[in-house]
Amino acid sequence: MDVQNYIQGKWMNGEGTELELFNAITGEQLGTTSSLGVDFESVLNYGRKVGGAALRSMTFQERGRMLKALALHLISIKEKFYTLSAATGATRIDSWIDIEGGIGNLFANASLRKQFPDLPYYVDGAAAPLSKNGTFIGHHIMVPKQGVAIHINAFNFPIWGMLEKIAVNLMAGVPAIVKPSEYTCYLTELMVREIVASKILPEGALQLVCGLGRGIIDYVNHNDVVTFTGSAHTGKKLKSLPQIIENSVPFNLEADSLNAAVLGEDALPGSAEFDLFIKEVQREITVKTGQKCTAVRRIIVPEKLVEDVQNALSKRLDKTVIGDPSQEGVRMGALASKTQVARVKENVVALLSEQALVYGDLEKFDVIGADKSKGAFFSPIVMLNDDPFKKLTGHNIEAFGPVSTIMPYKSMEEAVELVKLGKGSLVSSIVTANDDLAREFVTEAACSNGRILVLNERCAKESTGHGSPMPLLTHGGPGRAGGGEEMGGKRGILHYLQRTAIQGHPQTVTKITEQFQVGADQPEANPHVFRQHFEELMVGDTVFTHKHTVTDADIVNFANVSGDNFYAHMDATSLDGTIFEQRVAHGYFILSKAAGLFVDPKKGPVLLNYGLDEARFIKPVYPGATIGVKFTVKEKIDQEKRSEDDIAKGIVRFLVDVYDETGETVALATILTMVRKLDQRN
């Protein structure tokens, strides 16, 4: 079997053979792969010109729907990937993390379209007034980078590693070139074949390089983004290449790190938290055979509980059956390759120069349903470092397999210092029922971690665990962990956009952003905006309402209806020492009355009002004041139909500007309405 590259719209072999690929369980050869002879300059240009142009022509809403369609397609054929995933040494649960966890990233990022405008680019934050009379303002837009995202991924998650990255750049409107690890690229290739065949992504949006990929970043420019997941040594080497530095190419490094799990002093044997800690650590040692960048490498426990932890952990590990994942009862598969076996063994030997082996054996362990000499099997290994402030090997060397070290501490301050000796981690955990202890740990250790899990009995049933990065939270860490950030929900998408400040007249900025800016033209809507369908509404169209003079009776009646009898509204004798000159109208009365002024009550295209954002009461309104409303189309966001029977509609955000007889604004708010489309086909 030749594992091919997908570049410039076609599948192709490289020249010769760069690497032979093997089944991690049986040792049998699966095939070969090569990227020799690939013209990487042309590959990058193809992505920029073909894939980039297609993605940039789509809005965030369209890209989100594209990702959702892809996720639904892949989940419908997921069993194809499970079958081949077993060859990487993965159990069904390991494969579930990789396959369905990866597809979950597509779903999660697709849902983020609701946080973006119905535009190909993003309008960032609020406008900044830059002049006295309001004729000159500033704003920020963020546009897709006109380059490619080059993802160089690790061997441990051949599907998740690809999907968690491309979900973000595709949502941003940037094409990707994926370079998976050559050792497990056969599984990535299978999924890319299915993605390409589905034709859900535009051509050029995704290219795949399966061989060693030497030269893949030789032709990057300032529009490109490079991400790397793997060893810190290799990542730093790539990050320092001249073409990266000279072109100021964004380089996101996510490196393996010496992550820690800390047992709180309150979590004594017999407590729910102690049992949770043992279960969590055992899982982190054995899931994916310890081949996770987030796995627990340092088990930091109170000095008095070292023996208890060691005994309890050993008992749980004794139940871990190693072997062929297809065999009933097997709970841990193999490392990804024989090469990994040699590397992990070498690092364990180095760790044992200062640490004592308390569980496992490098040679003597049983394997079920497979030949240990042919497969890439490895025993769980637990060591004890009895003096972790002086014996520093355990803070410097990571064995990327089912290997971890117990380390004692005397106080929470010491526990934090031990965590920090890892010089930056992707994640640390603390298991405690004491929220004060949790707060102390988190606030002191956060500077050295990209993520912290606080685990106790109250959240255990729904906790996703120490080793599970979540699509809507940032994944990365400082120092040794690489100093990068991936995923993070909306934050991750913004990494692939260029933020640019724009300055000009509010009308010009309105035209550019397609969001109404205060000071822009407000042509009077004709007919009333509530009589117009989604397609007919124009940003800036405004209804200028009739006016109403506020009375004491208004205030009393609203207090009776709402039950709000706050003294400033109802007791004129209590206003000494306040900012109010007399009893003041309720802010919510002002907004309620504004609605009465701007609403056109007859049945029309407006289906419902479903929200209120950014409400502000700016100036007190006293009896005798006369208020009116400028009701302006602020922004339009398209929505897809959920079914053929669904009503075709969009979301319209209206600016509610309530002003008084002096012309000054007394209240501002944004209301969200659902408006029927004229064209009910989509």
Spell 270-294 as b/e; 16+ CB within 10 A means b.
Answer: ebebbbbbbbbbbbbbbbbbbbbbb
pLDDT of residue 378: 92
For 498-535, give one letter per residue: b (16+ CB within 10 A) or e: eeeeeebbbbebbeebbbbbbbbebeebeebbbebbbb
671 has pLDDT over 80: yes
The H-assigned helical ranges of 352-463 are 412-420, 435-445
Residue 31 neighbours by CB distance under 10 Å: 16
Per-residue pLDDT at 577: 86
Q: What is the mean pLDDT of residues 628-644?
A: 89
pLDDT at 481: 82
**What is the per-residue pLDDT across 228-246, written as a single tens digit (0 to 9) for each?**
988 888 888 888 899 999 9
- Give the model confidence (pLDDT) of 150-200 as tens digits: 999 988 889 999 999 999 999 999 999 999 998 999 999 999 999 999 999
Catalytic residue among 164, 182, 189, 254: 254
Q: What is the pLDDT of residues 522-546, one digit of tens each?
A: 999 999 999 999 999 999 999 999 9
Give the confidence band of 297 by pLDDT, cuts at 50, 70, 90: very high
What is the average pLDDT across 217-225? Answer: 93
Q: What pLDDT does residue 357 have?
A: 96
Locate all alpha helices (DSSP H) within 77-219, ordered by sequence.
Answer: 79-85, 92-111, 160-172, 185-198
| Inter-CA distances, 630 with 310, 551, 576, 592, 599, Å | 70, 21, 34, 14, 12
- The phi and psi torsions of 525 (rounded to 5 degrees) equal -70, 135
**Residue 502: C-alpha distances to residues 56, 121, 192, 496, 510 (Å):** 20, 14, 39, 19, 11
Residue 255 has pLDDT above 90, yes or no: no
Cα–Cα distance, 586 to 563 (Å, whole number):
11
CA-CA-CA-CA dihedral for 294, 300, 301, 306, to nearest 10: 100
Give me the pLDDT at residue 614, please: 87
Domains and CATH numbers, the chain: 2-255+491-497 (3.40.605.10), 259-467 (3.40.309.10), 522-676 (3.10.129.10)
Q: Are 205 and 170 in contact (CB under 8 A)?
A: yes
What pLDDT shows up at residue 252? 87
pLDDT of residue 611: 87
Q: Token pair for residue 621?
A: 């309104």
Please state, in angstroms and rounded to a whole number, the distance separating the CA atoms of residues 406 and 301.
7
| Rounded distance between C-alpha atoms, residue 283 and residue 288, angstroms | 9
Q: Is the pLDDT score of 616 beyond 90?
A: yes
Q: What is the pLDDT of residue 575?
A: 86
- Residue tagged active-site, from 293, 398, 440, 635: 293
Give the pLDDT of residue 437: 93
pLDDT of residue 679: 81
Which amino acid, residue 505? H
Q: How far apart are CA 110 and CA 162, in angstroms?
A: 16
pLDDT value of position 221: 94
- pLDDT for residue 663: 92
Distance from C-alpha of 627 to C-alpha of 549, rounded to nearest angstrom? 6
> What pLDDT, in 10s, does the model give residues 553-583?
999 999 999 999 998 898 888 888 888 889 9
- Predicted confidence at residue 277, as pLDDT, reads 96
pLDDT at residue 19, rounded to an integer? 84
Which of 9-18, 248-257, 423-432 is most confident? 423-432
Has residue 488 got a pLDDT over 90?
no
Give the side-chain half-sphere CA count within 13 A for 161: 28
Angle at 77 between CA 473 and CA 474, to 5 degrees: 5
Residue 138: which pLDDT band, with cuts at 50, 70 and 90?
Answer: very high
d(Cα 298, Cα 403) in Å, to the nearest integer?
Answer: 9
Q: In which band, very low, low, confident or very high, does the pLDDT at 471 lie, cut at 50, 70 and 90? A: confident
Q: Is the pLDDT of residue 1 over 80?
A: no
Pick 611 or 268 by higher pLDDT. 268
Let me know how long the chain is: 682
584 vs 602: CA distance, rounded Å: 32
- Percent share of the chain, pLDDT over 70: 100
pLDDT in tens, 67-90: 999 999 999 999 999 999 999 988
Q: Is 293 a catalytic residue?
A: yes
For 621-630, what is each residue's pLDDT tens digit? 999 999 999 9
pLDDT given for residue 358 in this prediction: 95
